[in-house]
Amino acid sequence: MVGETAKVLSLQDASRGPMRKGTEMPFINVKVIEGVFDAAQKRKIVERLTDAMVAIEGENMRSVTWCVVEEVRSGDWGIGGQPLTTTDVKNLAAGQAAAR
Could you tell me if residue 83 is inside a domain? Answer: no
Dist CA 86 CA 81 (whole Å): 16
Is the confidence at residue 12, as pLDDT, over 50? no
Could you tell me if residue 88 is inside a domain? Answer: no
More confident residue, 16 or 44: 44
What pLDDT is stored for residue 38 in this prediction?
Answer: 97
Domain containing residue 15: 4-73
Could you tell me if residue 87 is inside a domain? Answer: no
Could you tell me if residue 92 is inside a domain? Answer: no
Stated pTM of the model: 0.71
Give the domain CATH number at 37: 3.30.429.10
Residue 40, H or E segment: helix 39-57
Give the tens place of pLDDT for each residue, 25-77.
Answer: 899 999 999 999 999 999 999 999 999 999 999 999 999 999 999 999 999 99
What pLDDT is stored for residue 42 in this prediction?
Answer: 97
- β-partners of residue 32 are 71
Could you tell me if residue 78 is inside a domain? Answer: no
Total number of domains constituting the chain: 1
Cα–Cα separations (whole angstroms), residue 99 to 23, 27, 77: 46, 34, 14
Confidence of residue 21 (pLDDT cuts 50, 70, 90): low
Could you tell me if residue 100 is inside a domain? Answer: no
Could you tell me if residue 81 is inside a domain? Answer: no
